[in-house]
A and B are shown apart, each in its own frame.
Chain A
Amino acid sequence: MSRTSDPAALERLDIDRFVDWPAPYQYCLTCGLCAGACPVAGIDDFDPRKFVRMVSMGMEEELVEARWPWICTMCGRCDSVCPMEIGISGMVRNIRGMRERDKVPGGLQKGLEQVEKTGNVLGLPKEDFIFIVEDVAEEIAEEPGFSGFKVPIDKEGAFILSTIHNKLINTQNEDLKHLWKIFYAAKEDWTITSDYWEGVNWGLFTGDDRAMRMMVERIILQMDTLKIENLLWPE
């Protein structure tokens, strides 16, 4: 992380770069409790205290380029021990959001773009989705006690709409069954939607408020269309 070349001129730092952030990072006492609580302190010679310090010195380039904000799991342990209640994990998310979108590491951005285009991370067409769901439903119906089980899709006026984690549609179909069986047992009036069923909101991870909002709005649209009053978001 550290520059081995010439020292930077202090005058050139944009100390007020993040002054608009609500996090009161300027009150950091550099006590290090956050670093002690952090499960990923030390990786890349980084820790939350150092992160806050760099924010307070306006070192934008170094922060946005660093791997560390992405290695951080935003678990919030630093936040809960900070005596000055600075809110470090929120700042990590802000920094993540400042990275150019095509440089967001791994599959996060690609998935997000896929969601935007097709409604779900997998880019799965509607008819394939329905096929998978009905296939799983048939399997449930074969289990003792669940005869006649069906998945209500796009049921207007249902009491609860449940979103779905894409990995359950993708590879872990078996895990779709648990919650649905409970709904059946409880005689719940429930439904899932054939469009925008995705419950995972990766905008939370990439620091992208716009994407996060888009996904929430889509779910709301579904609920409005189907006149459903309650949302269960198991993700």
Chain B
Amino acid sequence: MTQNILIIGNSPCARGIRADLERLDIPTILILADGVSADGISEPAGELSSRGSHAVFDYTTVEGCTGTAGDYQIRLRRDREPFTRSAAAVVIAEQGLQVPLYDEYGLGPSGKVLPVSEAAARAGELLPDGGTVAVFNGIYSESQPGMADAAMECAIAIAENRGRRVFFFTGNLKVSGAGGELLFRRSREAGVVYFKFTHTRPAIRQEDTGAVRIEFTDEITGEPFVLTPDVTVVDERIAPSPRLDSLAQIFRLHRDAGGFLQTPNVRRAPVSTNRRGIFAAGPARSPERESDAPADAHAAIGAVLDLLHDLHDPGGDSIHRRGLPAEIDQNACIRCLTCFRICPHGAVLLFPDRLAVGESGCMGCGICAAQCPRGAIRFEGVRAGETGGAAPDADDAEKFVPKMVIFACEKSGRIAARSAPSEKIELVPVPCGGAVSDAHLLDALQSGADGVLLLACHVGNCDAETGTRYGRRTVERVQKVLEKTGGAPGRVAYRTVAANMESEAQSTIQNFQQELSALSPVSTGKVQGESRGTVAIEKGKTLS
């Protein structure tokens, strides 16, 4: 198995990762879309470096990727020559772009109007001593924290020691990041004056000459002011590299609303993506500034080392617990590609003659098994409940206490509802809300449960990203089936909780139990099935 780590990108973060891996004697392959000179990398491109097995390929594009964590095959092209390299993991760290937000402020670039990065670079000779400068930051849309820092740094550089007046116009000034408040303090010490707009907006006008006139009311004093600054500094936004479009497609990565390669999911460790062994770092992951690069580089090194360790010793003491892998039964599979399409971890591999689960990439969520229309995927992750106790038949209808099965995601519902199991409530831990199939729900009812509840993660908390949504769809589908067959759709329900929502989980369960109490017991014949007794789900039960 290869130990190569393929790094894609030209950012300081990418260089930092490469340097650290080199120190650790882990071989790297650096892929640059442009030339190497700008990056200060001295090795001849396309060759292995003299310091060991470290290669750099410049003017190289990524064209495809197959395989799974520990054994990725990446198709590349340089000088119209295609070639392939294998890698245990891939780190994407393409440099972002800083896009001036002229439009947002109704301004156009001119000698008197320029973006933060340019103003900061030329702070010294930007304008004569004693002049006035307006800085715009996050007035009409929330600024990125990194850009608030950049704007404050720029304001300090302009204001310091030159008798210049810097007026800083902002909305929600983002000082929550490391050093943000200190920057604010320093800027105030340098004499920067802030105007914060929460319920009003300044009127910004640009003359034909390029000069800017700002009219506004200071919200604290209520005083109207006007300013015609010598120089106006316009906010920027850190945007993802345009190359991330094709990279996201090739590596089948989820993106956030801004186009970066990490969704705002609480389960995502610093540089992880939806795919095991594909990492996004630095400005490929989120709108980060250069000063954030070391932190992301360290996180990437940690993630790579963890992965290599886990691959070497799959049964070891990994902190990244994965569920049991799924397996496609080649005789039953009809190649409908449902699993390939829905696997949130990109772990289903497509071969010319078959589909297979890449074991090292499978996170064991079980969504594929639950959704496979043929029941062709074996998955052992859903097992019988924790305290499947026998409940005595309550013949006295007045004392009817409904029996329930709760399918609870191990990452949320199972923890929140850990005190729920009783002789009337069986808790079935599942690796993901998406692992629950129509058959699981119906089986539970047939085994004598009066109701079945799926306790899954909130959207955005789901480790499998889409799992909780699949869970909801499954429940809704079964509700429709019950409705059409004369049953009560209210017997199955989908609710979301987080692991720390114990009391909410309890009241959710109690409420559901109360709703069920209004229905008659299952054994009275609403749902056909065996006599009521033990509630238990067969181990690994799938559609039959």
Contact = CB atoms under 8 A, between A and B. Distances in A.
Do A and B touch (CB < 8 Å)? yes
| Contact-residue bracket for chain A | 20 to 34
A75 interface: no
A15 B220 contact: no
Contacts of B188: 26-27
A11 B227 contact: yes
Contacts of A27: 185, 188
A53 B220 contact: yes
Given A15-B165, A27-B188, A53-B221, A9 B193 contact: no
| Contact-residue bracket for chain B | 20 to 34
B165 A7 contact: no
A78 to B, nearest CB: 15
Contact of B193 (A1, A6, A54, A57): A57
A10 B202 CA distance: 13
Given A15-B193, A30-B220, A10 B185 contact: no
Contacts of A30: 196, 220
B222 interface: yes
B224 A50 contact: no
A103 interface: no
A59 interface: yes
Interface SS of A by simple majority? mixed
Nearest to B196: A30
Contacts of A16: 191
B483 interface: no
A57 B215 CA distance: 17
A9 B227 contact: yes
B34 interface: no
A59 B215 CA distance: 18
A10 B225 contact: yes
A50 B221 contact: yes
Contacts of A2: 221-224
Interface in B220-243: 220-228
B189 interface: yes
Contacts of B167: 10
A11 B223 CA distance: 14
A34 B132 CA distance: 31
A3 interface: yes
B410 interface: no
A47 to B, nearest CB: 9
The 10 A-B pairs at the shortest CB distance, nearest first, are namely A7-B224, A10-B227, A53-B220, A2-B222, A26-B188, A7-B226, A10-B225, A7-B225, A53-B221, A8-B225
Interface of B: 132, 165, 167, 185, 188-189, 191, 193, 196, 215, 218, 220-228
